[in-house]
Structure 1
Amino acid sequence: MKKILDNTIELLAWIVTSLLLIKFVPRKRIREAIVSFLFKQVITWIFGLLVVEKDLISYPNRLFFKKAIKSSFTFEYFVYPGLCALFNLYYPENKPKIIKVLYYSFHTSIITIFEIIAVQYTNLIRYNKWSWHWSFITMYMSYFLSRIFQRWFFRINTK
């Protein structure tokens, strides 16, 4: 029964993320979203594999590529990058620093809360030698790196 719930949650993650991207990525900004999406995939590929191989986190029940990779394809390579694309598209570039910090914190907190719930109630993710605050810090930093790359790639001036 729990495996059915896990698979349902994973499929819903694909559907919800796809719908969010379709709804909130304007046609004229698809290129920006793709760059952000792919850059976040690079970050999660490197860091995600490191964390899994060091046995800090495990993903006991995965829907895709169970024998090819130990990390969660759904979350590491689709959901997080999709949310990062939206993060960068709607980043409050010309707002005060406190708004920017709150924006980072809000996005990171939402993902961390869903991860905590998944750890407690599903077999989608298991913390072995990890805790939620490490997830928060690493996601915050990956969003920060993604934003730096986005500003550099598209020559966004912050004045």
Structure 2
Amino acid sequence: MKKEIITLIFSWIVVIGLYLWKIPAPLKGKAQIAFLFGQAIAWIYVFLSVYFKRVKFPFREFPYATNLSFSLHYLIYPAFVMFFEVTYPSSNSRTRVILHYALFIFITNLYAFFIGHYTELVKPLRNEFLNIPIFALLLFVAHQFNKWFQKGMKEANI
């Protein structure tokens, strides 16, 4: 088996396992909304990255259908958004929020670095450090969307 397939299978198992065992039932709805919105923004981000030739995907699950990676941008990166949202600090402490953003940006970039340098899943063609502010912006947008969506849900239940 290729190391790319093993990496994807392992990533799928970790994401699904963490979802099933670490997200409590009352937060599953919030997690699913964050995951779906994460898919939407991940798709836009990867589409633009491929279009502007910032990245290419030598190994793809559906090589004849698309130039994009299915698992990375429809399961794994949206899962980062989902876990970011579910573990977002409930206190308004600015330090905790900044550390939360920093932790998830670091984890996401570390994952992207390892799969970019040790597998054929993704090959960065341009500056990888640009991903840091982009991931921060995407997490911020996802959090603002989730906050807005949850507020609408609470108002609808009143």
In 2, Cα distance between equivalents of 1:130 and 1:67? 27
In structure 2, which of residues 17, 20, 23 is the aligned counterpart of residue 19 of structure 1?
Answer: 17
1:140 is aligned to 2:136: yes
- 2:93 match: 96
Q: How does the TM-score come out when normalised to structure 2? A: 0.90
Q: Deviation string for 1:50-90 (max 9, x for gaps)?
A: 1112211011012x222222121111110111121111111
1:76 is aligned to 2:70: no
1:129 is aligned to 2:134: no
Question: What are the ranges of 5 or more consecutive residues in structure 2 without an aligned counterpart?
Answer: 153-158
Between the two proteins, the alignment pairs up a number of residues equal to 153
1:57 is aligned to 2:55: yes
Q: CA deviation at 1:93?
A: 2.7
Q: CA deviation at 1:96?
A: 1.0
In 1, Cα distance between equivalents of 2:30 and 2:10? 25
In 2, Cα distance between equivalents of 1:93 and 1:65? 40
In 2, Cα distance between equivalents of 1:114 and 1:13? 10
- Identity among equivalent positions (%) equals 24
Q: CA deviation at 1:95?
A: 3.8
Distance 1:35-1:135 versus aligned 2 partners, 3 A rule? same
- Match of 1:69, SS state, is coil
Q: How does 1:30-45 map to 2 (within 5 A)?
A: 30-45=28-43
The one-letter code sitting in structure 1 at the alignment partner of 2:47 is L
- 1:116 match: 113
Q: CA deviation at 1:115?
A: 1.2
In 2, Cα distance between equivalents of 1:21 and 1:65? 25
The one-letter code sitting in structure 2 at the alignment partner of 1:79 is I
In 2, Cα distance between equivalents of 1:147 and 1:27? 20
In 2, Cα distance between equivalents of 1:136 and 1:70? 23
Q: How does the TM-score come out when normalised to structure 1? A: 0.90
- 1:149 match: 145
In 2, Cα distance between equivalents of 1:113 and 1:90? 19
Structure 1 moving runs of 4+ over 4 Å: none
RMSD over aligned Cα, in angstroms?
1.7
Contact 1:39 1:146 in 2 (8 A): yes
